[in-house]
Chain A
């Protein structure tokens, strides 16, 4: 099968530490795919390689048929990326944040304003377009970032823990937006999460990552039946495949934790 995303034996080492170990999977067109695992499992490193921020030590990956190393420049034009943390500029208005990226992605001058307005409307932010982003709520900022990431209408969107630090209501609004992107715009999505509920609610398929490896892959239902208990929760599935609890801190280092806390504080 030929997916929008094809990953083969992707590996990344930092010195002697193997952060991502021989990861392979593919994601089909229009699919919402979840990369599930605790802090330090290798999710973010995988995402950094797929978004061309980090080059693999070995292995390959293709996005829309383009090689992430040899055709990195072309890959950047066909992907959208919502990083962890709050990556919108608080000192600019929502409209300005999008306008700058419209220019960076070479949207034609005539279409820029319309496309920015349309993206704001799609995310339900048209009322707050001219407000400073520092006055947005956490959920609004996240939706603005998603709007920013799809301005150039990429067929493939990567999101790194898109709902971390959001309250349940804001989280649900983000979920709705992501489903809308999938169903109405046909975008293929890959998101990382360490919330079982999120994976179960959103994802067509999930890959469970544990200590740098993918240990299981399939739809939430497939994974449950694979362990012989269709009534199992995804939580139980995780424990079954890894022998660990998801909540255990398996290697999220001080810096990650500090960053997550800081993000949570800013969002809250």
Chain B
């Protein structure tokens, strides 16, 4: 079989070799997205073969919601307006647990570099940006699995969840965006630092500040002024704000849902473009 094709090609000049059917911009765009989804499919298949990681990742949000959330709801120490504290924090914990998955995503790139998987992808006719976006979407798929877990936990502690199908789709979309954004940030860090040790150091350095300098577990209004600026510059705040407006009965977006999603969307696009430029550097 292999032979026939090659025989047919023995003429061997470049004209006889398979060319991409690119040409029209439409074919380029559809090629780009189909490659993106192949990369995402690869990750989704891995998750399907071994879903145990979803369970192990349920532990941390469970601690936050079942222990921290219950205690602070009783303490009434944090002013959250009309919402009970447990309702207020549930979207924050969803965003946080998705952040924690995404922010260490870059270590997989370093691992794949050491194995030669990155080399093989880069030597294939896959656009760099499709590889990076595909990885981002697969972080999003893991994020969606995490969202299901957090919803189950939220049911357990009686969070007033909003089951409107449109809002649920909105929550899914926001989780996907948030995971894509932070996983691509993580990929960029990995491409710059290039070693596991340095990467872990930086990952741990940024995770907690991102979480605490956001509106995930307390409102921005109660922060000192300098921290308010940090929280406003933190994409996680916009993710939480969007989630809060769609996930809860009576939830509202303080910054406006449109602004929230626009910030997340634009930040993701900028990071993917940057990531696509840096990704090939990880092999040098």
Contacts and interface: CB of A to CB of B under 8 A. Distances in A.
Contacts of B24: none
B14 interface: yes
A262 B114 contact: yes
B17 A87 contact: no
In this complex, which of A51, A86, A104, A118 has the most chain B Cβ atoms within 10 angstroms of its Cβ? Answer: A104
A105 interface: yes
Contacts, number: 128
Contact of A92 (B3, B19, B46, B284): B46
A92 B124 contact: no
Interface stretch (B37-45, B58-66, B83-91, B141-149): B37-45
Contacts of A153: 2, 5-6, 9
A195 interface: no
Contacts of B202: none
B34 to A, nearest CB: 8
Nearest to B17: A78
Interface of B: 1-3, 5-7, 9-10, 12-14, 17-21, 31, 34-35, 38, 41-42, 45-46, 49-50, 114-117, 119-126, 280, 283-284
Nearest to B15: A65
B6 A187 contact: yes
B12 A29 contact: yes
Contact of A184 (B3, B9, B50, B283): B3
Interface string A64-79: 1110000001101111
Contact of A104 (B1, B21, B35): B35
B17 A79 contact: no
Contacts of B284: 14, 48, 53-54
Contacts of B121: 104
Contacts of A89: 42, 46, 117
Nearest to B117: A87
Contacts of B116: 83-87, 160
Contact of B283 (A53, A92, A103, A104): A53
A240 interface: no
Contacts of A103: 34, 38, 41
Interface residues of A, number: 54
Contacts of B124: 76, 101, 104-105
A157 to B, nearest CB: 11
Nearest to A62: B14
Contact of A74 (B19, B34, B38): B19
Given A76-B125, A91-B50, A186-B10, A104 B38 contact: yes
A91 B3 contact: no
Contacts of A96: 45
A186 B2 CA distance: 9
A11 to B, nearest CB: 15
A239 interface: no
Nearest to A85: B116
B113 to A, nearest CB: 9
A232 interface: no
A122 B18 CA distance: 22
Given A64-B13, A81-B119, A86-B116, 7 more contacts: A53-B284, A77-B20, A77-B125, A101-B124, A118-B2, A153-B6, A186-B10
